[in-house]
Amino acid sequence: MERMKAWLKAVKNNRKFRCGGFSAALTAAVVACVLLVGALADALEQRFALQVDCSFNGATTQSAVTAAALEQLDKDVRLYAVVPASGGDATLLSLLNRYAAASPRVQLSQESLIKNPVLQTQFADAAGENQVTDDCLIVSCPATGRARILTADDYVLYSYNTETGYFDEISYSYEKSVTEAILYVTEDEVPQIQILTGHGEKTESEIQALEDTLVSANYAVKRVNLASGDALQPDSPLMILTPKYDLTERELDEIMAFAQSGGDFFVVSQYSDPLNLDNFQAFLRAWGVESYPGMVIAKAEDTAGYYADSPVILMPYMQECDATRTLLTQGEDILLLTAARAFKLPQTEPDGVMLTPVLMTGEAYIRNYEDGLTVSSQQPGDEEGRFAVALWSDKMFENGETSHLFIMGDMTMFLNYWMQSSTSSTAFLLQMVQSLQGREPVNLDIVPVTAQRQGLSLGNITPAVIVAVMLPLLVLLGALLVLLPRKNL
């Protein structure tokens, strides 16, 4: 013990130790302060999202639309960012931190399917078109029990590059997708669309793109099989998509009862669909709809009526009516119909029916192939003129209820992702459904941010860029001002 005291006294009286110890203590204090400030800054960032977005496209900056939506939240929302082992989407995670900081109603957690595999079963019913996998975002609301799963396909918008033959990323819709998902899961009631099954209609996999569009617009999609005892809900439009087999008498009665209760219809009948479905055709005739047999093809000389060098790919003319007025005002009238069916415009409409053309061809002809020829060129006897390829029909029943029916002769534009990105097909689909449903889907006016960095020019130099460039120059200038007078020292 005495030796220890003597050694400590010697060390204490050692001048080198006193100076070095002070330096070491000061260094340790500075390191501790830096760590403390870093931890405090990280906590403040997590709580208030104080980090400034200096990216060229502002992908993590929230708009006023999102700020208003978060301020009006009256239910708690849980965001589960499922992050793979290789690391998640840094842009998305940064944006999600801002959501959690902006509203006490939003809780964010980063999850791993390896550590928390129960997420796959917990949200299996909500998966829909997107499964719970690595690098997805689960948006859920415990109060409503509703959830939405977002993947990269919901954030990235593509455009076909004719030079390379590939699809290029053109913009990101992180904020729009996340905010709309939050509003969807917190809504008390969600508008619903019914899809009829059991008659050889388009399968679930075949109409995946159409369903994705509806779900992205926050519609709930429900399949109905009348033969299995499913009941139709009059407040939800019924989609009948290219049936190959006829309705039974009982199914026809149920559909007509649905109509008399105010139920509405979205129908697609393509040129290849059979016309000998007596009950289905009787249903259409009740709304004044009668189909032409065969395919409508544009005349070669009417180059504005078809796409590129393909007269079978029609570019129809959108007619002005209540259902299309908004689209025409916004310039959303570019559509492509491939191998479409046309519908007759009757000289006299049935009692209680008002029929309105929605899409009309240019100069065209009907190739019905009844002559046994497989050519698409016009043949003697083919009917020619301008034809309706989409109709809107209002039918009033004696009980005072009105049923609306929209029918079109092709649905390729709803199933083709290239057409969705290059034409107005998505806007057209949602506008028709909204006109039938009577409720506007969640479709926020949030502009996607560009995915391509612009070249540097005087016109797009931002204050952040100016600061980033000027700050090092100012430091260098200050150093020169200090060092130059002392260059001879």
Domain hosting residue 21, numbered range = 7-45
**Residues of the chain with pLDDT > 70: what percent?**
77
- pLDDT of residue 437 exceeding 70, the answer is yes
Per the CB < 8 A criterion, the answer to whether 393 and 289 are in contact is yes
3-state secondary structure of 147: strand
- Encode pLDDT of 73-116 as tens digits: 999 999 999 988 777 788 888 889 989 988 999 999 999 888 88
- How much is the pLDDT for 4? 65
What is the residue-wise DSSP string for 78-101?
Answer: EEEEE--TT---HHHHHHHHHHHH
- pLDDT of residue 312 exceeding 60, the answer is yes
Residues 114 and 197 in one domain: no
- Over residues 345-360, mean pLDDT: 90
Lowest-confidence region among 245-254, 307-316, 471-480 = 471-480
- Encode pLDDT of 260-288 as tens digits: 999 999 999 999 999 999 999 999 999 99
450 in a domain, yes or no? no
61 or 97: which leads in pLDDT: 97
Confidence of residue 191 (pLDDT cuts 50, 70, 90): confident
Residues 218 and 142 in one domain: no
Residues 141 and 228 in one domain: no
- How much is the pLDDT for 172? 80
Q: How far apart are CA 473 and CA 95, in angstroms?
A: 32
173 in a domain, yes or no? yes
Residues 239 and 301 in one domain: yes
Of 166-180, 333-347, 473-487, highest mean pLDDT: 333-347
Task: For residue 66, give the DSSP letter.
Answer: H
- pLDDT of residue 35 exceeding 80, the answer is no
The amino acid that residue 40 corresponds to is L
Confidence of residue 56 (pLDDT cuts 50, 70, 90): very low
Q: What does each C-alpha distance from 382 to 276, 341, 408, 410 come to in angstroms?
A: 21, 14, 21, 20
270 in a domain, yes or no? yes
Which residue, 383, 208, 190, is CA-closest to 295? 383
Six-digit token pair at 478?
């200050």
Residues 139 and 222 in one domain: no
Q: How far apart are CA 388 and CA 364, in angstroms?
A: 11
Select from 437, 453, 470 the last residue of a domain.
Answer: 437
Residues 122 and 249 in one domain: no
Residues 203 and 179 in one domain: no
3-state secondary structure of 25: helix
Question: The whole model's pTM is what?
Answer: 0.71
Domain of 129: which CATH number? 3.40.30.10
Q: How far apart are CA 91 and CA 174, in angstroms?
A: 9
Confidence of residue 486 (pLDDT cuts 50, 70, 90): low
**Residues of the chain with pLDDT > 90: what percent?**
47
- Encode pLDDT of 195-228 as tens digits: 999 999 999 889 988 988 888 788 889 999 999 9
- Encode pLDDT of 121-148 as tens digits: 888 766 455 678 888 899 999 999 888 8
- Over residues 301-315, mean pLDDT: 93
122 in a domain, yes or no? yes
- pLDDT of residue 298 exceeding 70, the answer is yes
Helix axes 90-102, 15-48, angle to 10 degrees: 80
Task: For residue 291, give the DSSP letter.
Answer: B
Residues 110 and 228 in one domain: no
- How much is the pLDDT for 126? 61
Confidence of residue 347 (pLDDT cuts 50, 70, 90): confident
Domain of 298: which CATH number? 3.40.50.880
- Encode pLDDT of 364-419 as tens digits: 999 988 777 788 899 998 999 999 999 999 999 999 999 999 999 999 999 987 78
Number of other residues whose CB lies within 10 A of the CB of residue 14: 12
Residues 258 and 170 in one domain: no
409 in a domain, yes or no? yes
473 in a domain, yes or no? no
- Over residues 303-320, mean pLDDT: 94
Mean model confidence pLDDT for the chain = 83
412 in a domain, yes or no? yes
Select from 402, 419, 437 the last residue of a domain.
Answer: 437
- Over residues 241-254, mean pLDDT: 96
- How much is the pLDDT for 472? 77
Burial (0-12, 13-18, 19+ Cβ within 10 Å), 190: middle
Residue tagged 């009980």 (tokens): 399
Number of separate domains in the chain: 3
Give, rounded to a whole angstrom, the gap between the first and last alpha carbons of the chain.
54
- How much is the pLDDT for 25? 61
- Give Cα 54 distance to the centre of its chain: 26
Select from 187, 210, 244 the last residue of a domain.
Answer: 187
249 in a domain, yes or no? yes
Residues 202 and 183 in one domain: no
Residues 151 and 210 in one domain: no
Residues 197 and 180 in one domain: no
